[in-house]
Amino acid sequence: MCRVEIALQVLAVVVTVAFVAGASRRAGVSAPLALVVVGIAGSFIPDIPSFELDPDLVLFGLLPPLLYAAAIRTSLVDFASTKEALLWLSVGFVIVSTLAVGLVTWWIVPSISIAAAIALGAVVAPPDAVAATSIARRVGMPRRIVTILEGESLVNDATALVALSAAITAITGSVTVASVGLDFLVAAGGGVAIGLAVTWLLIRIRRRIDDPVLDTTLSFTAPFVAFLPAEAIHASGGLAVVGTGLLLGHKAPTLQSAASRINETVNWSTVQFLLENAVFLLIGLQLKTLIQDVADTDLAAGRVAVICATVLLATIAG
């Protein structure tokens, strides 16, 4: 694929996102759902190239800025006032959902191991931060409920990470309660520690910056400066990014000028709008490729549909 084709594809995604999201707002329809539908329809158009989301691109390229954009808009005071509910949901709820989805998957697909089924549960159980942030505010939920849903979706990363790691380890070896507990402490504690350290560093740099453009540039580096070191020590990069975003957002009135805050808000709103909506469009565009991959397996299409529907229902019920 030549560079011109790549540029045209990027342009097409941006234009489609802007048009569909704008039309959805006018029609009072959820933009993420509309973009998924448009993506699904587009995947069956012959001249539309197939898209495949690279997991590393999503994890290291899209997730940090999306988490940070949501975190800096979340009130630290409101976040702290709901900490009990957040703890129960981000730990207890994710564990229960993981086990529920895993057991249902193991029941309906007995050919796979229980550890592999629980690994799938760990992947799909935690609510997605992007979906929660995109949809919760658009359906008229009370402020406290929105805060809890968004907050939980931002901090459940550590629990899901540990559950997935333990399940993968169990596939090839054995795990103990002590090892799982240690992994959780490293994931959660390490993520929080990295977030605090990065926040301390960025605060000191930000105090020396007066130019709104340079200040916003520093803000764009913040999610990656927090995420990458945390991932390098096998801690939760998501928690590191969320902690940095919450604290910098809370400290913004004392650290930044009015021009810098306005500049940062507008720029991050634009970045968040493009990235999160592009993700939903690309998810829909992958449907045709997924169907082709399923056709290449030994499983019948009806069997795959039943498995997917059952796992979806288990995820929703969990």
Strand, helix or coil for residue 74: coil
pLDDT, tens digit, 9 for 90 and up, residues 73-110: 888 887 777 778 877 888 888 888 888 888 888 888 88
- pLDDT number for residue 5: 77
Sign of CA dihedral 95, 100, 106, 109: negative
Residue 135 — very low, low, confident or very high, per pLDDT cuts 50/70/90? low
Q: Are 198 and 219 in contact (CB under 8 A)?
A: no
3-state helix, strand, coil in the chain (%, to 5): 80, 0, 20
C-alpha count within 13 angstroms, C-beta hemisphere, residue 281: 21
Q: Best-predicted range by mean pLDDT among 24-28, 136-140, 239-243, 296-300?
A: 239-243
Q: Which of 7-16, 88-97, 171-180, 203-212 has the lowest mean pLDDT?
A: 171-180
Mean pLDDT across 125-132: 65
The 3-class SS string of 249-292 reads HHHHHHHCCHHHHHHHHHHHHHHHHHHHHHHHHHHHHCHHHHHH
Comparing CA positions, the residue from 193, 249, 196 lying closest to residue 74 is 249
Q: Is the pLDDT of residue 194 over 80?
A: yes
Q: Quick one: how far is CA 124 from the chain centroid?
A: 11
Nearest Cα neighbor of 169 from 129, 122, 115 is 115
Over residues 253-278, mean pLDDT: 91
Report the C-alpha gap between 89 and 68 in whole angstroms.
20
Distance separating alpha carbons of residues 244 and 61, to the nearest angstrom = 17
Q: Are 101 and 125 in contact (CB under 8 A)?
A: yes
Residue 114 has pLDDT above 90, yes or no: no
pLDDT tens digits, one per residue of 6-49: 788 888 889 999 999 999 888 888 788 899 999 988 888 887 77
Q: Is 296 in contact with 106 (CB distance < 8 Å)?
A: no
Give the ranges where 109-137 is alpha helix by DSSP (H).
114-124, 129-135
What sections of 44-156 are H helices per DSSP? 55-56, 63-72, 76-81, 83-87, 94-108, 114-124, 129-135, 143-155
Tokens of 89: 């949901």
